[in-house]
Amino acid sequence: MFLSRRVVTESCEFDGGVLVDEKGMIERILTRENVESLLTAKNNIKVIDGGDLALMAGVIDSHVHVNEPGRTSWEGYVTATQAAAAGGITTIIDMPLNSIPPTTTLENLKTKIAAAREEVFVDVGFWGGIVPGNEMELHDMVRAGVVGFKGFLADSGVAEFPNVHKIELGNLFSILNGTGTVLAFHAELEVNNTTTECEGFDCSDPHLYSTYLASHPPEMELEAVSLIASYLPQSDVHVHIVHVSAAGVVPILEKARLGRIHAGNKGWRGGVTAETCHHYLTLSSEQIPAGHTEYKCSPPIRNNTNKEKLWEYIKDHRLDLIASDHSPSVASLKSSNFMESWGGVSSVQFGLSLFWTQAKARGLKLGDVSHYLSAGPAHLCGLQERKGAIRPGLDADLIFFDPNASFVVTPDVILYKNKISPYMNTVLNGKVIQTYIRGQLVYSEGQIIGGPKGILLLKDGY
């Protein structure tokens, strides 16, 4: 039995307890009064009392690049999942690219599974990847239990994961129709001579962030999302836009969602959703110093006005979930040159505190955290009957969180492999005190507890 003066759900907070069964599932939610009478009636119930700490559903980070096997000097299952546990994340979903092989065939998925098994400290699910020519693999990967597929519309940054071409989109949508899977897009499309290289525009100083920002204008996102939206009327596939940076994407998606709802789509959010990431909600282009490529990601971090617009959409429930897009690399790929450096921000460990720091300052509540960081990603990944909330029948993936504590991001608190961060030496509000997966303690006050207890979220037999 977990006790707290502040049990948090999406819709309310109360003084009470969460009773967990021997399989690690939530059996009952109790008010303090009912806790007292149950404990009086039964004296063999083990009690874990968090006192005034908030008891919340564990975070689900649906967008993490683990990179194992193949680029394990960048990240790996042990370090990524330990960092996740320390950050109050109880499930991550591994992105299909940057590992070698990428998760683009059933065989490759099995290679990933073999690398991950026995190594994970939180539960791990998998995205499959879409590249030109792997259409025949998609149904097999759905049967194995991938949560969905991610494809790019522009260069992915790694050679073994080429992007999908416009001409292939129609076929892709029809192949996935009726499978119930999710089709997620990295939505950037090269427009008006934009390129990721120093071609076609003034690139005199590649050490300035403004040079990189100018090479990835909002139109790249808007055009990509408009193109994807044009396929929605003929399809029932759940479409998800990952890492939205340009706020203008949101109204385009809403129009597409409305169209689908009018056409009778009964799926979650009309089968059209979008996420944004902690870096777009915390950082702005104005503050990025020359040469500091730990801030480089794609799509890029935009200006403060854009950031505040994203927050407006969050307050109005016009975005669906928030993820980290933890995409680390070795330090040697993060030089002072924005045009050449690896694009990816490392943050898997800090998402909850990053979000809470900003959300609290804007008057949001812990229930909003559970909505965007737990329930939303659970829904996207088809895990809503298993994870993402404090509700009877779900896994007891729980955290004790101190919303009033703060800490400084320093190399010694970072558990992911390459200790690079745009948040280095900054103060974050809200501290994860303990993390439990399926009722078992995996992290407590700075320490990982015991060996890997995570499982892989796949269909039976995989």
Ligand X SMILES: NC(=O)N[C@H]1NC(=O)NC1=O
Q: Would you tell me which residues interact with Zn ion (CB under 5 A)?
A: 186, 325
x/- contact string, 5-44, with ligand X (CB under 6 A)? ----------------------------------------
* Residues contacting 308, CB < 8 A, separation 6+: none
Burial 122-136 (b: 16+ CB within 10 A, else e): bbbbbbbbbbeebee
H or E segment to which residue 29 belongs: strand 26-31
Residue located via tokens 């900054």: 426
DSSP 25: B
Comparison of 156 and 349: residue with beta carbon closer to ligand X: 156
343: contact with ligand X by CB under 6 A: yes
**Burial degree of 288 (CB within 10 A; 0-12, 13-18, 19+):** buried
H or E segment to which residue 37 belongs: helix 32-41
Instruction: Please choose which of Zn ion, ligand X, none residue 282 contacts, taking the beta carbon within 5 to 8 angstroms, the exact cut-off set by kind.
Output: none
From 81, 103, 156, 421, residue interacting with ligand X (rule: CB under 6 A): 156
H or E segment to which residue 39 belongs: helix 32-41
Put residue 65 in one of left, alpha, beta given phi > 0 → left and psi -120 to 50 → alpha: beta
Torsion sign across C-alpha atoms 231, 233, 239, 245 = positive
64: contact with ligand X by CB under 6 A: no
439: contact with ligand X by CB under 6 A: no
Comparison of 156 and 282: residue with beta carbon closer to ligand X: 156
Instruction: Please choose which of Zn ion, ligand X, none residue 98 contacts, taking the beta carbon within 5 to 8 angstroms, the exact cut-off set by kind.
Output: ligand X
Comparison of 187 and 457: residue with beta carbon closer to ligand X: 187
163: contact with ligand X by CB under 6 A: no
* Whole-number CA gyration radius for the chain: 21
H or E segment to which residue 40 belongs: helix 32-41
Sole window of 9-17, 152-160, 230-238, 366-374 interacting with ligand X (rule: CB under 6 A): 152-160
Least Å from the CB of residue 301 to ligand X = 10
Spatial contact of 60 and 377, defined as CB atoms under 8 Å apart: yes
Spatial contact of 282 and 298, defined as CB atoms under 8 Å apart: no
157: contact with ligand X by CB under 6 A: yes
CA 450 to chain centre: 25
327: contact with ligand X by CB under 6 A: yes
Instruction: Please choose which of ligand X, Zn ion, none residue 396 contacts, taking the beta carbon within 5 to 8 angstroms, the exact cut-off set by kind.
Output: none
Comparison of 60 and 97: residue with beta carbon closer to ligand X: 97
Least Å from the CB of residue 326 to ligand X = 9
158: contact with ligand X by CB under 6 A: yes
434: contact with ligand X by CB under 6 A: no
What are 402-410's contacts with CB under 8 Å, separation 24+? Answer: 402/53, 402/54, 402/430, 402/431, 402/433, 403/54, 403/356, 403/360, 403/366, 403/429, 403/430, 404/429, 404/430, 405/429, 405/430, 405/431, 406/430, 406/431, 407/353, 407/431, 409/350
Alpha helices in 177-217 (DSSP H): 209-215
325: contact with ligand X by CB under 6 A: yes
186: contact with ligand X by CB under 6 A: yes
Instruction: Please choose which of Zn ion, ligand X, none residue 438 contacts, taking the beta carbon within 5 to 8 angstroms, the exact cut-off set by kind.
Output: none
Least Å from the CB of residue 217 to Zn ion = 17
Q: What distance in Å separates the CA atoms of residue 124 and residue 377, rounded to the nearest whole number?
A: 13
Comparison of 20 and 66: residue with beta carbon closer to Zn ion: 66
387: contact with ligand X by CB under 6 A: no
Sole window of 15-23, 150-158, 349-357, 444-452 interacting with ligand X (rule: CB under 6 A): 150-158
Instruction: Please choose which of Zn ion, ligand X, none residue 190 contacts, taking the beta carbon within 5 to 8 angstroms, the exact cut-off set by kind.
Output: none
Least Å from the CB of residue 336 to Zn ion = 23
Please list every residue from 95 through 114 that binds ligand X, using CB under 6 A.
97-98
Comparison of 265 and 293: residue with beta carbon closer to ligand X: 293
Comparison of 97 and 322: residue with beta carbon closer to ligand X: 97
Least Å from the CB of residue 164 to Zn ion = 13
298: contact with ligand X by CB under 6 A: yes
Comparison of 348 and 375: residue with beta carbon closer to ligand X: 348
- DSSP bridge pairs for 7: 14, 55
Query: Can you give the binding site for ligand X, defined by CB under 6 A?
Result: 65, 97-98, 156-158, 186, 297-298, 325, 327, 343-344
